[in-house]
Amino acid sequence: MQIKKETEVAGGGVPTAVQLEAINAQAKGKLTAEQVYVFSLRLCDDQVDRDGERFDTAALPGLAKLFIGKTGIVDHRWSSDSQVARIFAAEVVQENGVSYIKAWAYIRRGGTADEVIADIEAGIKKEVSVGCAMGRSVCSICGSEYGTCGHQKGESYDGAVCCAILKEPMDAYEFSFVAVPAQREAGVLKALGSRRCLKELAEEFGTQAEYRALVQDAELGRQYQKLLCDEVVRLCLALSLGVEEPVLRSMMGKASAQELMQMKSALEGRMAEMYPVKCQLSGAVKGDVVESGFLI
Ligand SMILES: [Zn+2]
């Protein structure tokens, strides 16, 4: 999945000798300290952000490496001359219990680049939008792949707020400078790459009533599946298959409604074969058992 986040530019200046060496490892030509402007960027960290997501702390070193050599563009203009900056170093920094990727980038002085440098110095182009691709997103509550378990980002479960943890860095993309505050007010960037939940979309597009109806239907579906699951477990126990109830419940809990319906129908067939004579009687008994099963 593709991830897009906003971050900040820290102060800049003339490169050190070590930095210049790293810059020249990336640059085609041999640059002098006077020709480049160096600044640092705080890229992804491991804290929960506005999207209810956070990067896995263990994924940061791998992600940092992927950012080295990536170029930065100004205001999303994708022409080659707008690629003014390039990341030449990145490492994970720990500060007050927070881990984050600190990157250093350089800009070659001269021409339009000087405007960008002046803007950075003046604090105007302070915000940076970074993009990367992560292989997995898992639920912080139960560890399942996010979106498969029913836990929702931002919702509280027994006092713990759910978030999606982004793991397995795959790629890092160009970054872009954002003139603050115009872009922030427009809210353009967040809509670009972030994945949003249905509830947010419903609020934005004024379809809350349909969303609530869907949620109710889904709840009914879950109740039906629970009843199906109970019935299949009851049939398995009645047929004395030799499997313990907790094992059956765990298995059936993972089955889909369609699978449970098939199981139920097959087990009912087996039941009818095994107890054909008692058909009338067992029908009556069956009713009682079902009744008590629901009471539990
Ligand atoms: Zn979960």
The tens digit of pLDDT for each residue in 157-214 reads 999 999 999 999 998 888 777 655 332 332 222 222 334 567 777 777 778 888 888 8
Q: Do 71 and 179 sit in the same domain of this protein?
A: yes
pLDDT of residue 5: 66
CA-CA distance, 245 to 241, in Å (whole number)? 10
* Whether the predicted pLDDT of 286 surpasses 80: no
Domain count, the chain: 2
Is 249 domain-assigned?
yes
State in Å: Cα 153 to ligand 1 middle: 9
Span from the CA of 141 to the centroid of ligand 1 (angstroms): 5
Q: Supply the pLDDT for residue 280.
A: 53
Residues 116 and 228 in one domain: no
**What is the distance between the alpha carbons of residues 275 and 92, in angstroms, rounded to a whole number?**
68
Q: What is the mean pLDDT of residues 84-113?
A: 89
In a domain, 160, yes or no: yes
Instruction: Give the Å distance between the CA of 248 and the centre of ligand 1.
Output: 22
Q: What's the CA-to-centroid distance between 254 and ligand 1, angstroms?
A: 14
Gap from CA of 195 to ligand 1 centroid (Å): 17
Q: How far apart are CA 4 and CA 44, in angstroms?
A: 10
Domain extent for 230: 208-295
196 C-alpha vs ligand 1 centroid, how far in Å?
A: 17
Q: Is 184 exposed, middle or buried (0-12, 13-18, 19+ CB in 10 A)?
A: middle
Pick from 144-148, 159-163, 254-258: least confident: 254-258
Report which of 66, 58, 75, 80 is spatially closest to residue 3, judged by C-alpha positions. Answer: 66
Ligand 1 center–CA 284 separation, angstroms: 41
**pLDDT band at 8, cuts 50/70/90?**
low
Judgement on whether residues 190 and 140 belong to the same structural domain of the protein: yes
- Structure token pair of residue 273: 């074969």
Model confidence, pTM = 0.56
Report the C-alpha gap between 195 and 203 in whole angstroms: 15
Domain membership of residue 203 (yes or no) is no
Same domain membership, residue 217 and residue 182: no
Q: Are residues 235 and 165 in the same domain?
A: no
> What's 16's DSSP letter?
P
For residue 8, the one-letter residue type is E
